[in-house]
Amino acid sequence: MTCGFVRDFLNKLFTNNKKQYIIHLQTTRNNILLKTNNIKPQKAEGIYIMKILESKFVQGFIKMANDGYLQGWHERNGGNLSYRLKPEEVEMIRPRLNAPGEWIPIGVEVPGLAGEFFLVTGSGKYFRNIIVDPEVCLAIIELDETGMNYRIRWGLVEGGRPTSELPTHLMNHEVKKKLTNGKHRVIYHAHTTNTIALTFVLPLDDKIFTRELWESATECPVVFPDGVGVVGWMVPGGREIAIRTAELMKKYDVVIWAHHGMFCSGEDFDLTFGLLHTVEKSAEILVKILSMTPNKLQTITPDNFRSLAKDFKVSLPEEFLYEKQ
């Protein structure tokens, strides 16, 4: 278990340095092992190497979470992240997993994910602390053979439970696993400032959000050619919003929650982070435009999009290329 003061100390130290570090920290009863990407691991008698923390998928997960924090998308415990482990990753870490505990109901049924393992953020955990104390902030969970229950197999060493948005994460994973033949493994939820701001001034309509975001940055239609879905305000953390979001994930890789944030699905950490980053950047440009004027003097036209689609070999649904009044 890691003491709070060690975490606070490290937070201060590495924030002050203005450099990014990947920190591995584990304590045994008497010793601390500290490893960063700049500092060679210090080994001492009686300390074992943390294989789970050293695995590539955990490192990638921690880096992505910290990148999101540095973007300002994770105030307090805002946002959550989940990753569906590959079978070989499960086998690699299996000897290090905790003995199985009790099964806990997920709150939704995801039979398409029966027996799968996920790395997830903990509910109420701050993204800013993940890099310093991953074993406190993260969990590896296992799903049962019905896809109705989970149990914790690693992490959350100071107690707690997986993110309150676990129903939405798992329902999205189930949809995407099926639709992408297992390629998509990452679901990311962030409180993206500019995208949230737009949900107060644009009609909450998939077609309008997609078109406005596409128009705000040329790369957008290439990065999210299927467009974005929008969910009107709903109570977060439950079954209803999970069902609504997963329904939209059948069509889109991006779903915006009005007055709340964004969900993205992708194959790996880079692609999923890059997708959410691109949508949010475009939203930022649109917020700036709307802050200057309600009328654009010029923009990217439907025919411009058609030319772009041809050259970049993407297909852009005509439903988003309507003529504006």
Interface residues toward ligand 13P, by CB under 6 A: 77-80, 121, 123-124, 163-165, 189, 236-237
Question: Strands, E, within 53-181: which ranges?
Answer: 80-84, 104-105, 117-121, 138-143, 149-155
CB 108 within 8 A of CB 239: yes
Nearest distance from residue 257's CB to Zn ion, in Å?
A: 7
Sheet holding 261-266, edge to edge: 104-105, 149-155, 138-143, 117-121, 80-84, 186-190, 261-266, 254-257, 229-231
Q: What's the CA gap between 95 and 102, in Å, rounded?
A: 19
Nearest distance from residue 192's CB to ligand 13P, in Å?
A: 11
Q: Is 171 helix (H, G, I), strand (E, B) or coil?
A: helix
Q: What's the CA gap between 156 and 175, in Å, rounded?
A: 27
149-155/229-231 β-pairing: unpaired
**By rule CB under 5 A, what count of residues binds Zn ion?**
1
**Beta carbon nearer to ligand 13P, 196 or 202:** 196
Cβ burial of 144 (10 Å; 0-12, 13-18, 19+) is middle
Q: Directed axis angle between helix 239-249 and helix 166-179, to 10°?
A: 20
Nearest distance from residue 225's CB to Zn ion, in Å?
A: 26
Q: Which does 36 bind (CB under 5 to 8 A by kind): Zn ion, ligand 13P, none?
A: none
16 membership: H or E segment, kind and range: helix 4-16
Q: Which does 174 bind (CB under 5 to 8 A by kind): ligand 13P, Zn ion, none?
A: none
**Beta carbon nearer to ligand 13P, 35 or 173:** 173
Stretch 253-282 residues interacting with Zn ion (CB under 5 A)? 261
Q: Which residue is nearest to Zn ion (CB)?
A: 261
Nearest distance from residue 51's CB to ligand 13P, in Å?
A: 26
State the alpha helices, DSSP H only, in 29-143.
51-54, 56-70, 87-93, 127-130, 134-137
117-121/80-84 β-pairing: antiparallel
**Beta carbon nearer to ligand 13P, 173 or 189:** 189
> For 28-36, which contacts have Cβ atoms below 8 Å and span 24 or more sequence positions?
32/6
Nearest distance from residue 260's CB to Zn ion, in Å?
A: 6
Tell me if residue 91 is catalytic.
no
80-84/186-190 β-pairing: antiparallel
Q: Which does 272 bind (CB under 5 to 8 A by kind): Zn ion, ligand 13P, none?
A: none
Q: Which does 77 bind (CB under 5 to 8 A by kind): ligand 13P, Zn ion, none?
A: ligand 13P
**Beta carbon nearer to ligand 13P, 63 or 189:** 189
Catalytic residue among 89, 116, 135, 165: 165
**Beta carbon nearer to ligand 13P, 78 or 107:** 78
**Beta carbon nearer to Zn ion, 153 or 260:** 260
Q: Which does 302 bind (CB under 5 to 8 A by kind): ligand 13P, Zn ion, none?
A: none
Q: Which does 238 bind (CB under 5 to 8 A by kind): Zn ion, ligand 13P, none?
A: none
Binding site for Zn ion (CB under 5 A): 261
Active-site residues, by number, are 165
